[in-house]
């Protein structure tokens, strides 16, 4: 089935088309797929989708493949008691009639391959990142160049998908989460568009400022501070780029990588910061090792999506190792055969090889010699 939407501007037809799709699937149960390490924008978008789809008697489970590692994300989930499922080997996909991708296009979730193998149809895909050339076919696609996916969901609400009520606790929770999603993805509105500001103005009637402030004030963990310190110690400055490889990182501390990139970007005369590390995790009972990096930039002429894709290329399946949006990008490279080893000297040598390889790719893309 051809998608009913594809990179459209904000119009009332967006909400009407989504309503038509949900009506077609009335009474079904869907799985909302988030990126493996969900951020506030993804969590808020999932909550909004669940609220809207409940109007059509569609139930949803919010599922992610990795961990909730950022301190603010954990606070958000805990404060509002958000039901989220960490995908395990025994996750039963047969109970779902369809899948939904929010704030992503399937390239940043380990669940995508499992969903495709299970031949579970994709009902909707709603995102604000650059369009990926290989993504699951969906009945409904809404990809817009907004500051946050949360902004798109606010548009649905503004167009009447649900009439929010300040006295309805669930509505207040969704509004507060959406405000948080927009704030974090636009750097506290510094990079917000007119549409983002309009969305925030609408949410200001319904969100809980005190709860939002409590979430935003969550302190960085010691592990995150240690990661930022390693980034500072290891950074290399080249032509206004700050590049830092930080070695091995626990999966639970993965969100420290973009926070370290944000911090390096604050240095004088730096317009682009790139931080990467070798993240140790687990999938299907097996150890995984993935080189994960984050890019942050204030340079108007630098396209993070294009930069990352040209620097690192594609994996054997044809998917890019990374991508991005305005002012931010990221990449993930699975190690495969070289996973494990155990001995300290071996682990040290392995990191040195990947550190050199990543730097070589970055320097080549920047156009400078190491």
Q: Which CATH number fits domain 222-366: 3.10.310.30, 3.90.850.10, 3.40.190.170, 3.40.190.100?
A: 3.10.310.30
> Does the domain spanning 12-216 belong to CATH 3.20.20.140?
no
More confident residue, 73 or 366: 366
Annotate 3-19 with DSSP letters as a single string: -S-SSPPS-HHHHHHHH
CA–CA separation, 63 vs 36, rounded Å? 9
The per-residue pLDDT for 6 is 40
CA–CA separation, 174 vs 164, rounded Å? 10
The per-residue pLDDT for 100 is 95
User: At 200, is the secondary structure helix, strand, or coil?
Assistant: helix
pLDDT class for 135, splitting at 50, 70, 90?
Answer: low
Mean pLDDT along residues 244-258: 90
CA–CA separation, 180 vs 176, rounded Å? 6
Q: Which two tokens stand for residue 143?
A: 């990809």
Cβ neighbours for 271, distance < 8 A, ≥ 6 positions apart: 240, 241, 297, 298, 299, 302
The per-residue pLDDT for 8 is 38
pLDDT tens-place string over residues 151-168: 999 999 998 888 999 999
Reference 10, options 102, 160, 142, 123; nearest CA is 142
CA–CA separation, 36 vs 104, rounded Å? 10
Buried residues in 17-27 as b, exposed as e (16+ CB within 10 A) = bbbebbeebee
More confident residue, 112 or 47: 47
Annotate 263-321 with DSSP letters as a single string: HHTTSTT--EEEEEEEEEEEETTEEEEEEEEEEEE--TT--HHHHHHHHH-B-TTS-BS
Q: 37 with 64: CB under 8 angstroms? A: yes
Asked if pLDDT for residue 348 goes beyond 70, the answer is yes
More confident residue, 118 or 135: 118
Q: Which two tokens stand for residue 366?
A: 């920047």
Percent of the chain with pLDDT over 70: 92
More confident residue, 324 or 259: 259
Q: What is the dihedral of CA 231, 334, 101, 325, to 10 degrees?
A: 40
CA–CA separation, 196 vs 186, rounded Å? 8
Reference 252, options 91, 113, 86; nearest CA is 86
The mean of the pLDDT values for the chain is 87
User: At 175, is the secondary structure helix, strand, or coil?
Assistant: helix
pLDDT tens-place string over residues 190-230: 888 899 999 999 999 999 999 999 888 876 778 889 999 99
The per-residue pLDDT for 107 is 74
More confident residue, 41 or 1: 41
Which pTM was predicted? 0.71
What sign does the dihedral 84-89-94-99 (CA atoms) show?
A: positive
Kindly report the backbone phi and psi dihedral angles of residue 33, in degrees, each rounded to the nearest multiple of 5, phi listed first. -100, 120
pLDDT tens-place string over residues 26-83: 999 999 999 888 889 999 999 999 999 999 999 999 999 877 877 788 888 888 889 8
Edge-to-edge strand order for the sheet containing 84-86?
84-86, 59-64, 29-33, 98-102, 122-127, 138-143
Whether 12-216 and 222-366 share one fold: the answer is no
Q: 65 with 111: CB under 8 angstroms? A: yes
Angle formed by the axes of helices 12-24 and 40-54, nearest 10°: 60
Kindly report which listed range (37-51, 57-71, 263-277, 312-326) carries the lowest average pLDDT score: 312-326
Q: Which two tokens stand for residue 339?
A: 């996973």
Percent of the chain with pLDDT over 90: 50
The domain locations on the chain are 12-216, 222-366
Reference 43, options 84, 13, 11; nearest CA is 84
More confident residue, 5 or 64: 64
Pairing of strands 98-102, 29-33: parallel
Q: Which two tokens stand for residue 63?
A: 């599922």
Q: How many helices (H) and strands (E) does the chain have?
A: 12, 12
Q: What is the dihedral of CA 308, 312, 314, 319, to 10 degrees?
A: -40
The per-residue pLDDT for 90 is 77
More confident residue, 370 or 235: 235
Paired residues of 275 in beta bridges: 244, 294
């Amino acid at each position: 089935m051809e998608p009913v939407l594809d990179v459209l501007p904000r119009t009332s037809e967006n909400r009407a088309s989504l309503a038509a799709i949900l009506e077609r699937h009335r009474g079904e149960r869907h799985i909302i797929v988030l990126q493996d390490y969900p951020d506030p924008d993804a969590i808020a978008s999932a909550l909004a989708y669940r609220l809207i789809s409940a109007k059509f008697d569609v139930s949803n489970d919010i599922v992610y493949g990795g961990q909730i590692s950022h301190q603010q994300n954990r606070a958000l989930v805990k404060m509002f008691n958000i039901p989220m499922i960490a995908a395990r080997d025994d996750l039963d996909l047969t109970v779902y009639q369809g899948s939904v991708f929010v704030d992503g296009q399937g390239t940043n979730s380990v669940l995508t391959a499992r969903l495709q193998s299970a031949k579970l149809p994709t009902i909707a895909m709603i995102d604000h990142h650059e369009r990926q050339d290989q993504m699951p076919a969906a009945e409904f696609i809404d990809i817009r160049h907004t500051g946050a996916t949360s902004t798109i969901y606010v548009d649905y609400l503004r167009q009447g998908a649900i009439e929010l009520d300040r006295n309805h606790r669930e509505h207040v929770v969704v509004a507060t989460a959406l405000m948080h999603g927009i704030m974090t993805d636009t750097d506290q509105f510094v990079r917000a568009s007119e549409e983002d500001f309009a969305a925030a103005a609408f949410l200001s009637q319904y969100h809980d400022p005190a709860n939002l402030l409590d979430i935003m004030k969550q302190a960085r963990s010691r592990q995150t501070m240690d990661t930022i310190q390693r980034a500072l110690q290891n950074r290399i400055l080249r032509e206004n780029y700050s590049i830092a490889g930080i070695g091995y990182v626990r999966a639970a501390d993965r969100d420290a990588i973009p926070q370290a990139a944000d911090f390096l970007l604050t240095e004088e005369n730096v317009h682009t910061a790139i931080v990467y590390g070798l993240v140790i995790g687990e999938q299907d009972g097996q150890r995984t090792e993935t080189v994960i990096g984050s890019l942050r930039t204030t340079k108007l002429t630098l396209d993070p999506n294009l930069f990352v894709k040209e620097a690192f290329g594609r994996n054997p399946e044809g998917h890019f190792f990374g991508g991005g949006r305005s002012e931010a990008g990221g990449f993930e490279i699975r190690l495969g055969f070289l996973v494990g080893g155990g001995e300290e000297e071996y682990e040290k040598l392995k990191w040195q090889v990947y550190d050199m390889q990543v730097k070589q790719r970055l320097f080549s893309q920047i156009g400078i010699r190491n």
